[in-house]
Each structure stands twice: as structure tokens, then as C-alpha cells.
């Protein structure tokens, strides 16, 4: 990327040096390439990249004039500000593109609850070979202990049940982001970010599950219980082992056992057998219906490579300490899931907030186009930061140099200068 002025080499990107404009060019190229066949709205609108490009050019021009007038000491637009504009315009267009068949995942849960109440089959019994036209007819994959909850919700009037679920999901999602360190003024704009928007739009449990993970430093049992809905999130419980929080592990396992025991009289043992059998049938279905992988790694790489990547991510996470280890484990759950859809990228939020401003907005930009294989570029940025401390806020600019170690205030970073993810939490002796 050329030579960067100032101390810290790569960290110079956080100071608005010319290397930052290369990141702007990289993001612009990525957006234009991945949306070349995309319309707004999806399938029956005008070309996505034409709308995006015209809106970005107009916004950059207006912003440049505004900055020159309101900030005479630094009248030029900074690269990180341009990155943010590119990302936010993509967010809005992607949300419009993704806004079809609302609450389709929630409908899957309600249908499962209805089947549970009337005694009909809840879990899939034969492999899928074609994608359902109505996506709410996808199979229900969560364990039987969740069925009483969905059965109770399915008893409510549809609009009331949907409103209750969405309202709770919005509150829990924003609470999770706030626990990670996002200030209140950033919370409403965060609803535009496609991973969160998609999770809320389809009514997926990924958003409430994020809140359980966010509470992990204080309520370690939540890291265990999160696996009830999203099994891969239970990898976060390894942090409790890493930190030797044995009581919290015991509390989480105990809560899980109590949940199963309390619901077993309602579900019976047969449903548990049906559930385990359905997971195998789903894996068989994935081999013939690739869309069931979403953009999960097994769709694109040999299974051995997928397993190796997942194990490597977990090992790298456990080599870190304190909150950094917990943040990395959250990202490891993204890598380790055999199927991956947009809302699953929410688990990368703690690691994203650990990045310096230009890298943060580059990764956010990658996650702001319609979801697909390119979303893994954000995970590549995060993984690169684990090997390059200057990309992370955890490494003060100038550390190791005479008079170094100061923490710079970064333009457009949600966290305050010197603040880390989970700012209200501290671990004695963490790096």
C-alpha cells in the first residue's frame, strides 16, 4: 500500500494518510463487482451499482463542501469518512434489497409450535431436494426444549406474537451492542447494518442469542445457554475454561439440565430422537441443495479445510486473554458454523469494534452489500488484525517507541479513545 507517514506504519491509516484512500478504492471496487447482477429491489428494479455509485458521488461531493465550510482547519474529506459514506449508502440499498417475505424465520418457529401443540411431526423426516417457494417452510432445527416457548407464542394472535418477538429482539439486540461498547447515539443507526437488519427482518433467534453472548463477562452461564438456539455459540463457553470460571460453567450446565428436565414431561424422549435424526437428514439435504449452506465455508471448501479453519480460529482465540479472547471466540463461532446466513455475522461485532477506524469501516462495508461469499472478506480483515497489532485499538499508536504508548482519538470510531470492547468489564492482568 505504499509508505505511510507517521509512527506505527499500518496504524498511519487511522491518521488519514494516503493509504486510507487505497482502502476506499478497494471497498468501492468490491461493491461494484459483487453487485454487478443485483437490482434494487431484488430481481425487479434498477441496477444496484448504478444507484449506489450515483448516490455515493453525490454524497461525497456534498460532504466535501460541508467539511470545507465547517472544518477549516482540516478542510478535506478524510479517507475514513469516505469509507463510512460508501458503507452507509450500501447498507440502505442492501436493506431495501433484502426486505422481502418478512419474519419468515419466525414463521418457521410458530409452525413448529403449532405442530407441537397438535401432535403432528415437528422435525424433517425426509431430505429436501428443492428449495421451498415459501421460505417459512424450511425445516425447524432447534432442540425440543425450545418447543414449549414457540407453542405458547403460537397461541397469541399473529400480530401480537410478531410484535412481541420483534420488540424484544430489537431491545435485546441494541442492549447487546451497548454492552459491547456502542454509545447510545450509535444504536439507532446500527439498525441499518445488514446483519442486524436481516436478523430482525426475518425474526431469527440470532439477535436474542447475541444478547446472551454480550452478557458473557458477567453472566457466564449465558455462554453455555446460548448453545440451545445456536449450537456453535456454545464455543464461547471455552472462554470460561480459559478464565477458570468453574462456577459459571457449572451454573450454565445446571441451567441447561434444568431446562431440559422441566420441558421433558411436555416433549417426551421421542422428540429428542426425532431432532437428532433430523440433523442428519439436514446434512444429507445440504449435499443436494447447496443453498442450505448459505455462504458457510463447507459450501466452498473441502470439509477438512473447514474443520482446520475452525480449529485454528478457536486456538488463536484461546491464545489471547481476557475480553480479547472472548471477542475472538465470537468470531470463531462464525467460522465454525457449517451453514452461515447474514444474521450470523453479528457474532463478529466484538472483534470488529476492536479494529481501528479505517479497518472497521472497511469490514463494515464488506458486510453492507447483499450477503454472500464476499462477506468473508470482513472475517479476513479481523483475522489479519490478530496477526497485525497495529490494525487493532488494543495496540496504542507509537507503542514501543520513545514517548509512545499514547492512544489516538480515531475519527468515526464508535468507541472512545483508549476504550476497548466490553468497556464496563475488566480482567485482572489481561493483555
Q: What is the 3-state secondary structure (H, E, C) of the chain?
A: CCCCCCCCHHHHHHHCCCHHHHHHHHHHHHHHHHCCCCEECCCCCEEHHHHHHHHHHHHHHHHHHHHHHHCCCCCCCCHHHHHHHHHHHHHHHHHHHHCCCCCHHHHHHHHHHHHHHHCCCCCCCCCCCCCCCCHHHCCCCCCHHHHHHHHHHHCCCHHHHHHHHHHHHHHHHHHHHHHHCCCHHHHHHHCCCHHHHHHHHHCCCHHHHHHHHHCCCCCCHHHHHHHHCCHHHHHHHHHHHHCCCHHHHHHHHHHHHHHHHHHHHHHHHHHHHHHHHHHHHHHHHHHHCHHHHECCHHHCCCHHHHHHHHHHHHHHHHHCCHHHHHHHHHHHHHHHCCCECHHHHHHHHHHHCCECHHHHHHHHHHCCCCCCHHHHHHHHHHHHHHHCHHHECCCCCCCCCCCCCCCCCCCCCCCCCCCCCCCCCCCCCCC
Report pLDDT for 234: 87
Report pLDDT for 406: 45
Residue that wins the pLDDT comparison between 4 and 134: 134
Mean pLDDT of 353-382: 96
**What is the pLDDT confidence band of residue 418, given thresholds at 50, 70 and 90?**
confident
Mean pLDDT of 336-348: 95
The answer to whether residue 394 scores a pLDDT higher than 90 is no
Report pLDDT for 408: 55
Helix axis angle for 376-387 and 303-319, nearest 10°, is 40
Whole-model pTM over 0.85: yes
Contacts of residue 40, Cβ cutoff 8 Å, sequence gap at least 6: 46, 47, 48, 51, 93, 96, 97
- The answer to whether the CB of 318 falls within 8 A of the CB of 325 is yes
Mean pLDDT of 137-144: 95
- The answer to whether the CB of 422 falls within 8 A of the CB of 217 is yes
Mean pLDDT of 147-171: 97
The answer to whether residue 364 scores a pLDDT higher than 90 is yes
| Rounded-to-integer distance, Cα 263 and Cα 240, Å | 27
* pLDDT tens string 262-296: 999 999 999 999 999 999 999 999 988 999 999 99
The neighbour count for residue 254, using CB atoms within 10 Å, is: 12
Nearest CA among 50, 59, 65 for reference residue 89: 59
The answer to whether residue 410 scores a pLDDT higher than 90 is no
* pLDDT tens string 51-86: 999 999 999 999 999 999 989 888 889 999 999 999
Report pLDDT for 41: 83
Amino acid at each position: 500500500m505504499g509508505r505511510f507517514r507517521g509512527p506505527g506504519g499500518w496504524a498511519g491509516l487511522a491518521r488519514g494518510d494516503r493509504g486510507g484512500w487505497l482502502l476506499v478504492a478497494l471497498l468501492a471496487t468490491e461493491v461494484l463487482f459483487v453487485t454487478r447482477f443485483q437490482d434494487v429491489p431484488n430481481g425487479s428494479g434498477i441496477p444496484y451499482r448504478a444507484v449506489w455509485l450515483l448516490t455515493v458521488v453525490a454524497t461525497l461531493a456534498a460532504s466535501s463542501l460541508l467539511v470545507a465550510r465547517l472544518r477549516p482547519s482540516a478542510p478535506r474529506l478524510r479517507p475514513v469518512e469516505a469509507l463510512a459514506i460508501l458503507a452507509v449508502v450500501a447498507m440502505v440499498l442492501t436493506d431495501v434489497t433484502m426486505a422481502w417475505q418478512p419474519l419468515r424465520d419466525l414463521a418457521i418457529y410458530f409452525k413448529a409450535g403449532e405442530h407441537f401443540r397438535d401432535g403432528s411431526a415437528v422435525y424433517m423426516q425426509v431430505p429436501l431436494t428443492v428449495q421451498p417457494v415459501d421460505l417459512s417452510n424450511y425445516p425447524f432445527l432447534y432442540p425440543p426444549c425450545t418447543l414449549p416457548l414457540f407453542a405458547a407464542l403460537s397461541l397469541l394472535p399473529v400480530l401480537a406474537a410478531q410484535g412481541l418477538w420483534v420488540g424484544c429482539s430489537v431491545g435485546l439486540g441494541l442492549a447487546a451492542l451497548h454492552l459491547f461498547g456502542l454509545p447510545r447515539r450509535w444504536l439507532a443507526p446500527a439498525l441499518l447494518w445488514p446483519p442486524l437488519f436481516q436478523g430482525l427482518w426475518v425474526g431469527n433467534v440470532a439477535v436474542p442469542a447475541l444478547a446472551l453472548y454480550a452478557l458473557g463477562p458477567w453472566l457466564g452461564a449465558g455462554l453455555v445457554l446460548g448453545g440451545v438456539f445456536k449450537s456453535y455459540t456454545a464455543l464461547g463457553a471455552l472462554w470460561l475454561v480459559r478464565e477458570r470460571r468453574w462456577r459459571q460453567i457449572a451454573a450454565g450446565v445446571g441451567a441447561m439440565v434444568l431446562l431440559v428436565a422441566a420441558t421433558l414431561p411436555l416433549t417426551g424422549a421421542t422428540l429428542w430422537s426425532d431432532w437428532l435424526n433430523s440433523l442428519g437428514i439436514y446434512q444429507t439435504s445440504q449435499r443436494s441443495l447447496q443453498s442450505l449452506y448459505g455462504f458457510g465455508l463447507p459450501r466452498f471448501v473441502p470439509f477438512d479445510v473447514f474443520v482446520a479453519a475452525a480449529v485454528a480460529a478457536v486456538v488463536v482465540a484461546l491464545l489471547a486473554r481476557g475480553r480479547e479472547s472472548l471477542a475472538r471466540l465470537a468470531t470463531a463461532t462464525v467460522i465454525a458454523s457449517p451453514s452461515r446466513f447474514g444474521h450470523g455475522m453479528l457474532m463478529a461485532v466484538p472483534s470488529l469494534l476492536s479494529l481501528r477506524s479505517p479497518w472497521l469501516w472497511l469490514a463494515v462495508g464488506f458486510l453492507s452489500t447483499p450477503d454472500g461469499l464476499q462477506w468473508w472478506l470482513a472475517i479476513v480483515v479481523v483475522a489479519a488484525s490478530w496477526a497485525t497489532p497495529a490494525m487493532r485499538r488494543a495496540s496504542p499508536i507509537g507503542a514501543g517507541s520513545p514517548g509512545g504508548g499514547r492512544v489516538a482519538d480515531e475519527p468515526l470510531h464508535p468507541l472512545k479513545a483508549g476504550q476497548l470492547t466490553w468497556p464496563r468489564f475488566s480482567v485482572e492482568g489481561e493483555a
